[in-house]
Structure 1
């Protein structure tokens, strides 16, 4: 069938599906239909939507669109009674006998997620009628016309570019000026098959976030396309400057003109207690003798293949033939560990890098924690990020690791050359010089003397 849609809307970016009711007719006999308009610039799959009705003041009826039904950008989709006039059926895309109520039944477009749920206006993308004010046999008023939803045809104004999201009172208005609808006489189907749409403003879809890389200052309708720069920083939760929003630049790599595929079986990953979300990286040693990532993959508790990228001619951006592999794993908390690996060297596998070759890891073992010294600041050993001892049993500010227990350390190999007091005076000891003398003074007088033999 041929349909015409008049619109002055300017589209500039892809937008998620947006549809609304463009026309509604509650005509004589079975001459009833609902027209749906796609005002986006992408094809709308109606499998994602459901047409619901609130009937007789209490019952919810659900009408699924035929599988695979869709609406082209700027196109229309007409749902009609299967016994309607031929002029209506010639425009219809989907029919069923009891479409589309008797003027006192509310109809709503809802997402498919509301399937098998009671009629709830809050879930509506667009709605005609209002269950909260339902009265048996009476239609709802609109544009100052009493019972406009009964025995009338209603056409959406061209400057309405969004559904009403369940707010029928706002959509209906109280006068021709504040209503979203034009109310026509019963059996006036002169607008069926086309919809004039201008939105009232020039709509430019795009990214409206000024912090995004692809921010469009001309856009006034965000389409979810915003792209953001990846924030590199310290992603290690054990570091003092840990940033939970940061990504570790250590695992950044570039695709080159050749690679080698390395297989890691599930049992190999589980042997080092990998968790879903951990990241494997394979590293080469660059010309500065630094470990550099040449490929990575996320562990998902299943067999894994990592592409190890080779160096391009004249560049230092990947593995060279026969170079050995170094593996590092980044846990989901950001901490990293250097791994020792055993590689399969039996053909067709290679234990070192070969362009377009295949590798297989037979086993992993954790060697040590790997620190991101480029991006992270770590506390000194035995201390936290604030300079406090991790272990200080006596609370004296000296870490237990630095405490000297005289009774647990043999003095047999030590020889006391001289003893002095706090004033620097020599103190003689009657016992042999391999003893330690401790004297406690008060006003220059010795009040206690302890000899440790």
Structure 2
């Protein structure tokens, strides 16, 4: 055969990427020019033109802690936020011996450039520490021991911490702790796994700190994607976000370098609207609150609305992640019953079109005057004046009426002035207020036949004159007095028709009589006397007599006889005689 020859093929040309087409809120079409000899293409899509950017820290962090020998005490801060930070917003505090609140505040000052550290040391630290220190301080925040947690505060709010709060054991004695490079944000709760421990008096890391902030920004599914053609739809994107794409040509024996980079900004999703409702009843002079649903989650929107056909009004609302938002407008009772109608909605957080709203977009305004409402515990539609709420809408169990005289009984609710007639005899015991309902209350009357002297007995209603009868023996005494009775001939208890009682304190005796005095009851009298008695002759007296009694104390002796006088009692009398009771 002929002479063998060798040759080297040229690398396939780098394609030229061209502008994207079909740009929407979540997709676009990447385009590029064809390359001769290409069998396919490789497409990369990224959120960074570098296709591997750096992620900034969310805030300052405590990057190093030194609790060394003697006064070797150091706190190092690191700024990886991507911009210079004014330290005036920050301060350090410590907790003493793992107990109590953070205190001993050290206020910071100056500016800390991105990528730089700020070293704060105790002024009595060794020269190697002082040499790298940005500030020395005798503040309590730097004078710590192994059980004193130290925290970083921003505008008075704790954002970072080294050490266990409320733990008295020596978690950090005689060590140097350096924050690991993977930590990209401060934490208000100490996590020992975020720190690397070094021996006591290790100072070599002070003054510099490294973090791992390089991350890929290539979109999943669009990294080295094989495309058979000169265009590819890229979907699943985020609205109003800048994306970048590049392409490489592939042949049977080589792959080209990266093409030029094309940037694409996705469009904003148009505003959406679901419903509008009013929250309860608004008070006139206050604010009426409305809830809106169906918005794009997290979007800011301008809502245009009219009230009863009046000129357009606008309000800006911020939707939560679920697409819900609320807004408020001044409320006036003159608007009660009018219709608020949403006409259109437009996003103001991104350039987008105005969207007309035509469904579920109206609400009837409910606005009331501030009024006093009264409790209606018994549900009779009459309220209790003593239990009230001042509001512009009717609370449950309350009414506007305040006239209920008994809110515990639904059958009665109003006061009325009636004649008092407890015994229902038609005669009154004066007038009185009564709490009643639809019917006349018991014990009262609309009319009267006159005054009732005894309203507890229907048979008695007028007064007559009687004599006082204290002992109730039907015999009275004294002069006539008025007493309530059934009739003039029926004396009530304690009264009598006569005044003949000679002793009104003893019911057994009631009349006076003339009797013979007969104390020894021998039938002979010792004169006569007028005596108060009852139904029988009183003891010591007699209705009749056999004659005079010379000794009314001895029933055996009653007559006088003539005897000779025996002065010496010897049984022999003198010639003198005398009458003697014997």
- TM-score (normalizing by structure 1): 0.40
Q: Which has the larger radius of gyration?
A: 2
Q: Which structure carries more strand by proportion?
A: 2
